[in-house]
């Protein structure tokens, strides 16, 4: 019988909410959340492969590109990384691991985020190149490929190698959840100080047979007493279920506060020394802008211009130029100049690259604001579109229990969604200004405003770019090379 | 040996069963071929821009005879999911020649679905694209 450690009075603990807390502490809670998501995923795959080819009529495209993305960022904003908790890929992986046990450890040289950062950028690129938003078939193929990738990686490699080192959606969630208000952490450090078993990371085994694990510990190598923040935490609840002292909770905190400090983090190390996580923060931030840029009218004029200059007739090289500029050139120039000013004008003792790396985490909130504005817009304006698509899908299999499709059901009018978009952008800007000021205070005690100024300018440039994008007419097509100039 | 205790095996089996049912029903539905109707369309203005777009339709049967007395509903969709569709109805001006107007609300590529009910009561679904719609 567990005895619950008390929670500090100042903190809210989701596990103490009547009903919900008990549900989450139930050892099958994760499966309970994963099962419906898996069923929906299977329906999306089937409908994507065999259903209507028009994206607005198909569950694969509608649920993936309108509802999943929007709900994901809104839940990250309001709570935390609960989408990784409900990840259906892990349910399938767990089933597969009943049959095949992985034998290998993930290669030491690959224990970083570089693969996942590259995959994250690649998905953004292929999204534009193949117009995934317009293709139910390719959306379904992407989901199937994801399932297969999970099975292959975690079929060969132990622990949660896919989540920690490969999954691009997971990395998106990890970096975005650094600004979430909830975090899985220990309630009382003093309880951990006298804990002899360390079940939260080791897991629990049967007394009679030590090779039989009855409850997993953290598969992502996050040791609760030294865990800081949400980076790499999938909210899988394993540590909560494993702790014999009931000393792990889902606690409230100041959003983005983990970006302001640089302690040694269990399973991660120091943010300031992790170039791969810094790169993830930058792809997350600048990728938000390039992803939004792909859906407004000026992108087609730019693509046509680049196509003419390069004398090419395929989209790939043109997109490569655009992505290269926005994901490499622009961050290097903006952060390089800001770091140089911080060093020369504010007198920071750090070199240019470590400076840029340290402050790159300060851009995460504005990046998240852009993702929120973009995905939130689609989510709100297309909120009810899953209803007629589901009605239609059921009617298609001669089971019209929801009635005839009501295609006039959509969502909020665009003019109502736009103020919400602006609110998200302002929230992101405020968060980034706050974080970068804290970083500047820690960096240059005597003249924090001097260190802060160039980074505030970077934040404002990103904010202004996002507002400009938001005010552009939205336009979606996949035929820029044939548009006749 | 590592034992998982979350019932994932049952879930996997259940999901496969659901997939099989959906696959079977999805593959087996809507296999009937409708009457052979040819639809030619023309939009104005050219190039198309947001706002009202006139759509002229010419329906002919397999013998190239005009198809008269059809009830035609039009639905315009963006290629991106989640966007509000637009609806309209076509009126017959001459035998086989119909005219309608759609209010295109966004620039980009549009797909127009024609829900045609022939005078005989048979139903036909057709679609065509209006690409490169520009801002007005």
Question: Distance between CA A340 and CA A170 in Å, rounded?
Answer: 33
Residue A256 has pLDDT above 70, yes or no: yes
pLDDT above 90: residue A476: no
B-chain residues near A411 (CB < 8 A): 82, 84
Residues pairing with B128 in the sheet: B112
In total, the C-beta contacts within 8 angstroms joining chain A to chain B are 165
- The residue from A241, A269, A297 where one domain ends is A269
Residue in A46, A58, A484 closest to B19 by CB: A46
Choice between A272 and B134, residue whose per-residue pLDDT is larger? A272
Q: How does the average pLDDT of chain A come out, rounded? A: 94
Q: Are residues A244 and A285 in the same domain?
A: no
Average pLDDT over residues A46-70: 96
Please report the pLDDT score of residue B135 as a whole number: 83
The whole-angstrom distance between B65's CA and the closest CA on chain A is 30
Sequence-ordered list of residues with C-beta below 8 angstroms from that of A332, at least 6 positions apart, any chain: none
Q: How confident is the model at residue A481 (pLDDT cuts 50, 70, 90)?
A: very low
- Domain end, chosen from A252, A269, A286, is at A269
pLDDT in tens, A3-36: 566 666 678 999 999 999 999 999 999 999 999 9
User: Which pLDDT tens digit goes with each residue over A393-407?
Assistant: 999 899 999 999 998
What integer pLDDT is reported at residue B23 of this predicted model?
45
At A414, the pLDDT band (50, 70, 90 cuts) reads: confident
Domain membership of residue B20 (yes or no) is no
**Main-chain phi, psi angles of A398, to 5 degrees:** 55, 40
Is there a single domain that holds both residue A70 and residue A89?
yes
pLDDT band at A212 (very low <50, low <70, confident <90, very high): confident
Give the structural domain span for B101: 38-133
Count of helix runs (H) and strand runs (E) in chain A: 23, 4
CATH number at residue B86: 2.60.40.1930
Q: Which of A215, A250, A269 is the last residue of a domain?
A: A269
Residue-level pLDDT at A3: 58
Number of domains in chain A: 2
Q: Is A394 on the interface with B (CB under 8 A)?
A: no
- What is the pLDDT confidence band of residue A334, given thresholds at 50, 70 and 90? very high
User: What are the tens digits of pLDDT across the range A67-98?
Assistant: 999 999 999 999 999 999 999 999 999 999 99
Question: What is residue B17's predicted lDDT score, i.e. its pLDDT?
Answer: 45
Which site among B5, B8, B51, B73 would you substitute to test the A interface, given the most A Cβ atoms closer than 10 Å to its Cβ? B8
Q: Which residue in this structure is represented by tokens 């009075």? A: A9
Pair (A436, A474) in one structural domain: yes
Q: How many domains does chain B have?
A: 1
Mean pLDDT of A330-338: 98
Same domain, A264 and A352: no
Q: Per CB distance under 8 Å, which residues of B are interface residues toward A? A: 1-9, 11-12, 14-15, 18-19, 22-23, 25-27, 29-30, 47, 75, 77-85, 87, 106-109, 111, 113, 127, 131-132, 134-135
What per-residue confidence (pLDDT) applies to A7?
A: 64
- Domain holding A95, by residue range, is 1-269
Chain B residues with CB under 8 Å of A38 CB are 11, 15
> In the prediction, which pLDDT does B5 show?
40
Q: Which 3 state secondary structure label does DSSP give B103? A: strand
Q: Do the beta carbons of residue B114 and residue B67 sit within 8 Å? A: no
Nearest in space to A169 (alpha carbons), one of A204, A206, A119, A214:
A119
In this predicted model, which residue has the larger pLDDT, B80 or A285? A285
Whether A150 and A274 map to the same domain: the answer is no
CB contact under 8 A, A46 and B22: yes
Mean per-residue pLDDT for A256-267? 97
Q: What percent of chain A has pLDDT over 90?
A: 90
Residue B18 inside a domain? The answer is no
Shortest CB distance from B7 goes to which of A28, A379, A381? A28
**Residue A127: pLDDT above 70?**
yes
The verdict on A174 and A137 lying in the same domain is yes
Q: Is residue B103 part of a domain?
A: yes
Report whether pLDDT(A378) > 60: yes
With CB atoms and an 8 Å threshold, state whether A61 touches B135. no
How much is the pLDDT for B84? 84
Instruction: Choose from A34, A46, A204, A381 for mutation: most chain B CBs within 10 A.
Output: A46
What pTM does this model have?
0.90
Same domain assignment for residues A145 and A194: yes
Mean pLDDT to the nearest integer, A272-287 = 98
Torsion of CA A242, A244, A250, A256, to 10 degrees: -80
Q: What is the per-residue pLDDT for A104?
A: 97
State which residues of chain B have pLDDT below 70: 1-34
């Amino acid at each position: 019988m567990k005895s619950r450690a008390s929670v500090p009075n100042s903190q809210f603990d989701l596990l103490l909410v009547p009903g919900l807390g008990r549900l989450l502490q139930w050892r099958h809670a994760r499966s309970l959340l994963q099962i419906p998501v898996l069923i929906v995923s299977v329906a999306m795959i089937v409908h994507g492969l065999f259903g209507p080819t028009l994206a607005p009529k198909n569950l694969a495209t509608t649920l993936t590109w309108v509802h999943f993305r929007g709900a994901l960022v809104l839940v990250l904003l309001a709570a935390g990384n609960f989408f990784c908790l409900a990840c259906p890929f892990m349910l399938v992986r767990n089933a597969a691991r009943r049959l095949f046990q992985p034998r290998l450890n993930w290669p030491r040289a690959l224990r970083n985020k570089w693969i996942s950062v590259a995959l994250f950028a690649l998905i953004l690129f292929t999204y534009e190149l193949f117009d995934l938003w317009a293709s139910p078939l390719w959306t379904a193929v992407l989901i199937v490929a994801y399932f297969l990738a999970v099975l292959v990686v975690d079929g060969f490699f132990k622990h949660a190698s896919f989540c920690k080192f490969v999954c691009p959606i997971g990395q998106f969630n990890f970096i975005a959840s650094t600004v979430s208000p909830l975090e899985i952490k220990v309630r009382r450090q003093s309880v951990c100080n006298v804990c002899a078993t360390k079940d939260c990371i080791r897991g629990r085994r049967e007394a009679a047979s030590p090779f039989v694990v009855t409850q997993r510990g953290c598969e992502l190598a996050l040791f609760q007493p030294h865990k800081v923040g949400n980076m790499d935490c999938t909210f899988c609840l394993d540590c909560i279920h494993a702790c014999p002292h009931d000393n792990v909770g889902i606690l409230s905190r100041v959003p983005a506060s983990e970006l302001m400090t640089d302690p040694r983090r269990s399973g991660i190390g120091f943010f300031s020394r992790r170039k791969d996580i810094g790169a993830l923060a930058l792809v997350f931030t600048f990728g938000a802008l390039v992803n939004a840029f792909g859906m407004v009218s000026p992108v087609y004029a730019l693509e046509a211009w680049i196509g003419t200059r390069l004398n090419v007739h395929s989209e790939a090289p043109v997109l490569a130029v655009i992505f290269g500029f926005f994901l490499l050139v622009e961050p290097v120039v903006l952060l390089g100049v800001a770091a140089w000013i911080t060093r020369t004008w504010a007198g920071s003792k750090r070199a240019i690259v470590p400076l840029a790396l340290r402050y790159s985490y300060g851009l995460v909130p504005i990046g998240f604001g852009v993702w929120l504005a973009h995905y939130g817009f689609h989510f709100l304006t297309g909120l009810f579109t899953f209803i007629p698509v589901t009605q239609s899908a059921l009617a298609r299999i001669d089971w019209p229990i929801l009635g005839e499709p009501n295609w006039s059901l959509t969502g909020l009018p665009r003019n109502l969604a736009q103020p919400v978009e602006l609110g998200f952008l302002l929230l992101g800007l405020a968060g980034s200004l706050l974080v970068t000021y804290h970083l500047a205070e820690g960096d240059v005690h005597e003249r924090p405003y001097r260190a802060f100024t160039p980074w505030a300018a970077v934040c404002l440039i990103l904010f202004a770019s996002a507002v400009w994008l938001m005010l552009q007419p939205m336009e979606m097509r996949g035929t820029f090379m044939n548009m006749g100039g | 040996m590592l034992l998982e205790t979350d019932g994932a095996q049952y879930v996997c089996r259940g999901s496969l069963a659901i997939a099989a049912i959906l696959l079977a029903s999805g593959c087996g539905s809507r296999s009937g071929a409708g009457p052979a109707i040819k639809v030619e369309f023309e939009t104005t203005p050219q190039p198309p821009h947001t706002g009202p777009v006139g759509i002229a339709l010419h329906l002919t049967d397999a013998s190239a005879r005009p198809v008269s007395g059809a009830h035609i509903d039009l639905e315009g969709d963006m290629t991106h999911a989640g966007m509000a569709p637009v609806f309209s109805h076509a009126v017959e001006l001459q035998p086989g020649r119909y005219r309608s107007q759609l209010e295109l609300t966004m620039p980009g590529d549009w797909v127009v679905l024609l829900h045609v009910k022939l005078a005989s009561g048979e139903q036909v679904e057709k679609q065509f694209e209006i690409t490169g719609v520009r801002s007005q």
